[in-house]
Amino acid sequence: MLFRGMACKEQIRFFATESTAIVQTALDLHKLAPAPALLLGRLLTAALLMGAEIKDEVSNLTLNIEADGPLKGAIAIYEYQGKVRGYAKKPDFFDEEVKNNWNIGNLLGKGTLNVIKDLKMKAPMTGTIELQTGEVAEDIAHYYLNSEQVPSAVSLGVLFDAEGMIRSAGGYLIQQMPSANPEDVDKLMLNLANTPYITDLLDMGLNWEEILHKIIFKDMDMSITDSYPVQYHCSCSKERFADALRLLGKDELETMQEGITPVCHYCNKQYDFSAEDIMQIIQSLNR
Ligand SMILES: [Zn+2]
Protein backbone atom coordinates (compact mmCIF):
# COMPACT_ATOMS: atom_id res chain seq x y z
CA MET A 1 0.00 0.00 0.00
CA LEU A 2 0.97 3.61 -0.50
CA PHE A 3 -0.24 6.29 1.92
CA ARG A 4 -0.48 10.00 1.13
CA GLY A 5 -1.17 12.69 3.66
CA MET A 6 -0.53 16.12 5.15
CA ALA A 7 0.75 17.36 8.48
CA CYS A 8 1.34 20.62 10.34
CA LYS A 9 -1.57 22.60 8.89
CA GLU A 10 -0.90 21.19 5.43
CA GLN A 11 2.61 22.66 5.35
CA ILE A 12 4.24 19.24 5.30
CA ARG A 13 3.19 16.53 2.89
CA PHE A 14 4.18 12.90 3.04
CA PHE A 15 4.17 9.68 1.04
CA ALA A 16 4.89 6.30 2.62
CA THR A 17 4.87 2.81 1.21
CA GLU A 18 5.63 -0.81 1.89
CA SER A 19 7.21 -2.44 -1.18
CA THR A 20 8.19 -5.90 0.11
CA ALA A 21 6.27 -7.89 -2.54
CA ILE A 22 7.42 -5.57 -5.34
CA VAL A 23 11.10 -5.91 -4.45
CA GLN A 24 10.74 -9.70 -4.08
CA THR A 25 9.13 -9.83 -7.55
CA ALA A 26 12.00 -7.79 -9.02
CA LEU A 27 14.54 -10.07 -7.33
CA ASP A 28 12.81 -13.21 -8.71
CA LEU A 29 12.27 -11.82 -12.22
CA HIS A 30 15.81 -10.58 -12.67
CA LYS A 31 17.61 -13.15 -10.46
CA LEU A 32 19.37 -10.29 -8.70
CA ALA A 33 22.52 -10.65 -6.61
CA PRO A 34 22.28 -8.81 -3.23
CA ALA A 35 23.90 -5.50 -4.28
CA PRO A 36 21.79 -4.96 -7.44
CA ALA A 37 18.72 -6.10 -5.43
CA LEU A 38 19.41 -3.37 -2.86
CA LEU A 39 19.88 -0.78 -5.59
CA LEU A 40 16.83 -1.72 -7.63
CA GLY A 41 14.70 -2.26 -4.50
CA ARG A 42 15.50 1.23 -3.23
CA LEU A 43 14.98 2.77 -6.67
CA LEU A 44 11.59 1.04 -7.20
CA THR A 45 10.50 2.22 -3.74
CA ALA A 46 11.63 5.77 -4.59
CA ALA A 47 9.66 5.63 -7.86
CA LEU A 48 6.51 4.63 -5.95
CA LEU A 49 6.91 7.57 -3.57
CA MET A 50 7.82 10.13 -6.23
CA GLY A 51 5.15 8.88 -8.61
CA ALA A 52 2.44 9.38 -5.99
CA GLU A 53 1.86 12.90 -7.30
CA ILE A 54 0.90 11.52 -10.74
CA LYS A 55 -2.85 11.45 -11.04
CA ASP A 56 -3.64 10.62 -14.65
CA GLU A 57 -3.33 7.46 -16.71
CA VAL A 58 -0.89 8.61 -19.38
CA SER A 59 1.83 10.28 -17.32
CA ASN A 60 4.81 8.41 -15.94
CA LEU A 61 8.03 8.94 -14.02
CA THR A 62 11.44 7.43 -14.76
CA LEU A 63 14.45 7.25 -12.43
CA ASN A 64 17.74 6.35 -14.05
CA ILE A 65 21.01 5.87 -12.18
CA GLU A 66 24.05 5.69 -14.43
CA ALA A 67 27.41 5.21 -12.74
CA ASP A 68 30.99 4.25 -13.59
CA GLY A 69 31.47 1.65 -10.81
CA PRO A 70 30.96 -2.12 -11.23
CA LEU A 71 27.27 -1.94 -10.17
CA LYS A 72 26.62 0.44 -13.13
CA GLY A 73 23.11 1.56 -12.13
CA ALA A 74 19.41 0.79 -12.50
CA ILE A 75 16.18 2.11 -13.99
CA ALA A 76 12.75 2.30 -12.37
CA ILE A 77 9.54 3.50 -14.02
CA TYR A 78 6.32 4.51 -12.28
CA GLU A 79 2.97 4.38 -14.03
CA TYR A 80 -0.52 5.33 -12.96
CA GLN A 81 -1.98 3.88 -9.74
CA GLY A 82 1.01 2.36 -8.06
CA LYS A 83 2.49 0.34 -10.91
CA VAL A 84 6.29 0.15 -11.06
CA ARG A 85 8.81 -1.80 -13.05
CA GLY A 86 12.56 -1.66 -13.47
CA TYR A 87 15.84 -3.41 -14.02
CA ALA A 88 19.39 -3.40 -12.70
CA LYS A 89 22.16 -2.78 -15.22
CA LYS A 90 24.43 -5.46 -13.65
CA PRO A 91 21.91 -7.94 -12.17
CA ASP A 92 24.52 -10.60 -11.35
CA PHE A 93 27.24 -8.34 -9.94
CA PHE A 94 28.31 -10.05 -6.72
CA ASP A 95 29.95 -8.30 -3.82
CA GLU A 96 30.90 -10.20 -0.67
CA GLU A 97 30.81 -7.16 1.61
CA VAL A 98 27.36 -5.83 0.81
CA LYS A 99 25.54 -8.17 3.23
CA ASN A 100 27.67 -6.88 6.09
CA ASN A 101 27.42 -3.14 5.55
CA TRP A 102 24.43 -2.64 3.18
CA ASN A 103 26.38 0.05 1.33
CA ILE A 104 26.15 0.28 -2.43
CA GLY A 105 27.46 3.82 -3.02
CA ASN A 106 31.07 2.60 -3.26
CA LEU A 107 29.97 -0.03 -5.81
CA LEU A 108 28.26 2.62 -7.94
CA GLY A 109 31.14 5.08 -7.84
CA LYS A 110 30.69 8.37 -9.65
CA GLY A 111 27.51 8.87 -11.59
CA THR A 112 24.22 10.64 -12.07
CA LEU A 113 20.57 10.32 -11.10
CA ASN A 114 18.26 11.39 -13.90
CA VAL A 115 14.59 12.06 -13.14
CA ILE A 116 12.12 12.28 -16.02
CA LYS A 117 8.54 13.31 -15.29
CA ASP A 118 6.60 12.72 -18.47
CA LEU A 119 3.36 14.52 -17.77
CA LYS A 120 2.19 14.20 -21.42
CA MET A 121 0.50 17.63 -21.49
CA LYS A 122 3.81 19.32 -22.25
CA ALA A 123 7.49 18.51 -22.80
CA PRO A 124 8.84 16.05 -20.17
CA MET A 125 10.38 17.64 -17.07
CA THR A 126 13.86 16.31 -16.55
CA GLY A 127 16.42 16.92 -13.84
CA THR A 128 19.86 15.41 -13.39
CA ILE A 129 22.09 15.51 -10.34
CA GLU A 130 25.48 14.04 -9.53
CA LEU A 131 25.17 11.07 -7.15
CA GLN A 132 25.86 12.27 -3.59
CA THR A 133 26.28 9.04 -1.66
CA GLY A 134 24.90 6.50 -4.15
CA GLU A 135 22.72 5.07 -1.37
CA VAL A 136 19.68 6.42 -3.31
CA ALA A 137 17.68 8.08 -0.46
CA GLU A 138 20.21 10.91 -0.02
CA ASP A 139 20.42 11.30 -3.78
CA ILE A 140 16.63 11.66 -4.11
CA ALA A 141 16.60 14.27 -1.30
CA HIS A 142 19.41 16.14 -3.08
CA TYR A 143 17.44 16.02 -6.35
CA TYR A 144 14.37 17.59 -4.72
CA LEU A 145 16.36 20.33 -3.02
CA ASN A 146 18.44 21.25 -6.05
CA SER A 147 16.12 20.63 -8.98
CA GLU A 148 12.74 21.44 -7.43
CA GLN A 149 13.77 23.57 -4.42
CA VAL A 150 11.74 21.34 -2.08
CA PRO A 151 13.44 20.36 1.21
CA SER A 152 12.71 16.64 1.61
CA ALA A 153 13.42 13.82 4.01
CA VAL A 154 13.75 10.45 2.27
CA SER A 155 14.20 6.96 3.67
CA LEU A 156 14.39 3.81 1.53
CA GLY A 157 15.03 0.36 2.92
CA VAL A 158 15.38 -3.23 1.78
CA LEU A 159 15.91 -5.96 4.37
CA PHE A 160 16.96 -9.52 3.48
CA ASP A 161 16.47 -12.69 5.48
CA ALA A 162 19.17 -15.35 5.94
CA GLU A 163 18.06 -17.15 2.76
CA GLY A 164 18.41 -14.01 0.65
CA MET A 165 14.66 -13.41 0.34
CA ILE A 166 13.16 -9.96 0.98
CA ARG A 167 12.00 -9.72 4.60
CA SER A 168 10.67 -6.20 4.23
CA ALA A 169 11.06 -3.16 2.02
CA GLY A 170 9.59 0.31 2.12
CA GLY A 171 10.22 3.98 2.63
CA TYR A 172 8.92 7.49 3.00
CA LEU A 173 9.19 10.87 1.30
CA ILE A 174 8.34 13.87 3.48
CA GLN A 175 8.33 17.35 1.95
CA GLN A 176 8.31 20.80 3.43
CA MET A 177 6.08 23.46 1.85
CA PRO A 178 7.46 27.03 1.61
CA SER A 179 5.49 28.41 4.58
CA ALA A 180 6.11 25.53 6.98
CA ASN A 181 6.62 26.61 10.59
CA PRO A 182 10.33 26.12 11.50
CA GLU A 183 9.34 24.77 14.93
CA ASP A 184 7.22 22.07 13.29
CA VAL A 185 10.13 21.18 11.01
CA ASP A 186 12.49 20.94 14.01
CA LYS A 187 10.03 18.70 15.84
CA LEU A 188 9.67 16.48 12.78
CA MET A 189 13.46 16.25 12.31
CA LEU A 190 13.81 15.20 15.95
CA ASN A 191 11.10 12.54 15.50
CA LEU A 192 12.81 11.28 12.33
CA ALA A 193 16.17 11.11 14.11
CA ASN A 194 14.49 8.89 16.73
CA THR A 195 12.73 6.68 14.18
CA PRO A 196 14.24 3.19 13.85
CA TYR A 197 14.80 1.72 10.38
CA ILE A 198 11.44 1.52 8.58
CA THR A 199 12.23 -2.02 7.37
CA ASP A 200 12.76 -3.13 10.99
CA LEU A 201 9.45 -1.55 12.05
CA LEU A 202 7.58 -3.20 9.17
CA ASP A 203 9.34 -6.47 9.93
CA MET A 204 8.19 -6.22 13.56
CA GLY A 205 4.64 -6.17 12.26
CA LEU A 206 3.85 -2.47 12.60
CA ASN A 207 1.76 -1.02 9.78
CA TRP A 208 2.26 2.36 8.17
CA GLU A 209 -0.69 4.00 9.98
CA GLU A 210 0.96 3.17 13.31
CA ILE A 211 4.43 4.25 12.17
CA LEU A 212 3.12 7.58 10.87
CA HIS A 213 0.84 8.38 13.81
CA LYS A 214 2.91 7.06 16.70
CA ILE A 215 6.49 7.54 15.59
CA ILE A 216 7.18 9.90 12.66
CA PHE A 217 4.45 12.45 13.44
CA LYS A 218 4.29 11.72 17.17
CA ASP A 219 2.53 14.59 19.00
CA MET A 220 1.92 16.45 15.73
CA ASP A 221 -1.24 17.15 13.75
CA MET A 222 -1.43 14.95 10.67
CA SER A 223 -3.92 13.06 8.54
CA ILE A 224 -3.66 10.34 5.92
CA THR A 225 -5.66 11.63 2.94
CA ASP A 226 -5.69 8.46 0.87
CA SER A 227 -4.08 5.11 0.23
CA TYR A 228 -3.94 2.67 -2.67
CA PRO A 229 -2.32 -0.68 -3.50
CA VAL A 230 1.04 -0.87 -5.29
CA GLN A 231 2.36 -3.61 -7.56
CA TYR A 232 5.16 -4.65 -9.89
CA HIS A 233 3.61 -4.39 -13.31
CA CYS A 234 5.06 -4.32 -16.81
CA SER A 235 2.90 -2.90 -19.58
CA CYS A 236 4.81 -4.44 -22.48
CA SER A 237 2.99 -6.12 -25.39
CA LYS A 238 3.78 -7.43 -28.85
CA GLU A 239 2.21 -4.25 -30.29
CA ARG A 240 4.60 -2.06 -28.28
CA PHE A 241 7.59 -4.06 -29.48
CA ALA A 242 6.30 -3.80 -33.07
CA ASP A 243 6.10 0.00 -32.65
CA ALA A 244 9.71 0.02 -31.44
CA LEU A 245 10.80 -2.16 -34.38
CA ARG A 246 9.09 0.23 -36.82
CA LEU A 247 11.28 3.04 -35.48
CA LEU A 248 14.40 1.11 -36.54
CA GLY A 249 13.55 1.68 -40.21
CA LYS A 250 13.53 -0.51 -43.27
CA ASP A 251 17.29 -1.13 -43.65
CA GLU A 252 17.69 -2.34 -40.10
CA LEU A 253 14.54 -4.48 -40.30
CA GLU A 254 15.80 -6.17 -43.45
CA THR A 255 18.71 -7.59 -41.44
CA MET A 256 16.12 -9.36 -39.24
CA GLN A 257 14.27 -11.09 -42.06
CA GLU A 258 14.54 -14.54 -40.49
CA GLY A 259 12.64 -13.30 -37.46
CA ILE A 260 13.73 -12.16 -33.99
CA THR A 261 12.80 -12.87 -30.38
CA PRO A 262 13.27 -9.69 -28.32
CA VAL A 263 13.06 -9.99 -24.52
CA CYS A 264 11.52 -7.28 -22.33
CA HIS A 265 14.14 -5.74 -19.99
CA TYR A 266 11.53 -5.14 -17.29
CA CYS A 267 9.74 -8.51 -17.04
CA ASN A 268 11.86 -10.92 -19.13
CA LYS A 269 8.88 -11.84 -21.30
CA GLN A 270 9.98 -13.03 -24.76
CA TYR A 271 8.14 -12.03 -27.93
CA ASP A 272 8.38 -14.02 -31.14
CA PHE A 273 8.50 -12.03 -34.37
CA SER A 274 8.48 -14.55 -37.23
CA ALA A 275 9.88 -13.86 -40.70
CA GLU A 276 6.30 -13.11 -41.71
CA ASP A 277 5.82 -10.63 -38.81
CA ILE A 278 8.98 -8.76 -39.84
CA MET A 279 7.81 -8.70 -43.46
CA GLN A 280 4.48 -7.20 -42.39
CA ILE A 281 6.25 -4.50 -40.38
CA ILE A 282 8.44 -3.63 -43.40
CA GLN A 283 5.36 -3.49 -45.59
CA SER A 284 3.58 -1.22 -43.11
CA LEU A 285 6.48 1.25 -43.48
CA ASN A 286 6.00 1.36 -47.22
CA ARG A 287 2.41 2.43 -46.99
ZN1 LIG B 1 7.68 -6.40 -19.99
How many A from CA of 234 to the centre of ligand 1? 5
Check residue 57 and give its pLDDT: 83
How many A from CA of 261 to the centre of ligand 1? 13
How many A from CA of 278 to the centre of ligand 1? 20
Check residue 87 and give its pLDDT: 98
Q: Which fold has domain 238-286?
A: CBS domain Like (3.90.1280)
One fold for 2-232 and 238-286: no
Check residue 123 and give its pLDDT: 83
Check residue 99 and give its pLDDT: 79
How many A from CA of 272 to the centre of ligand 1? 14
Check residue 177 and give its pLDDT: 95
Contacts with 99 (C-beta within 8 Å, 6 or more apart), sequence order: 34, 160
How many A from CA of 94 to the centre of ligand 1? 25
How many A from CA of 233 to the centre of ligand 1? 8
Write out residues in the chain with pLDDT < 50, as ranges: none
How many A from CA of 268 to the centre of ligand 1? 6
How many A from CA of 254 to the centre of ligand 1? 25
How many A from CA of 69 to the centre of ligand 1? 27
How many A from CA of 235 to the centre of ligand 1? 6
Check residue 257 and give its pLDDT: 87
Check residue 116 and give its pLDDT: 96
How many A from CA of 60 to the centre of ligand 1? 16
How many A from CA of 240 to the centre of ligand 1? 10
How many A from CA of 241 to the centre of ligand 1? 10
How many A from CA of 280 to the centre of ligand 1? 23
How many A from CA of 248 to the centre of ligand 1? 19
Check residue 24 and give its pLDDT: 98
Check residue 33 and give its pLDDT: 95
Check residue 166 and give its pLDDT: 96
How many A from CA of 269 to the centre of ligand 1? 6
CATH, range 2-232: 3.55.30.10
How many A from CA of 184 to the centre of ligand 1? 44
How many A from CA of 185 to the centre of ligand 1? 42
How many A from CA of 262 to the centre of ligand 1? 11
Q: Where are the domains of the chain?
A: 2-232, 238-286
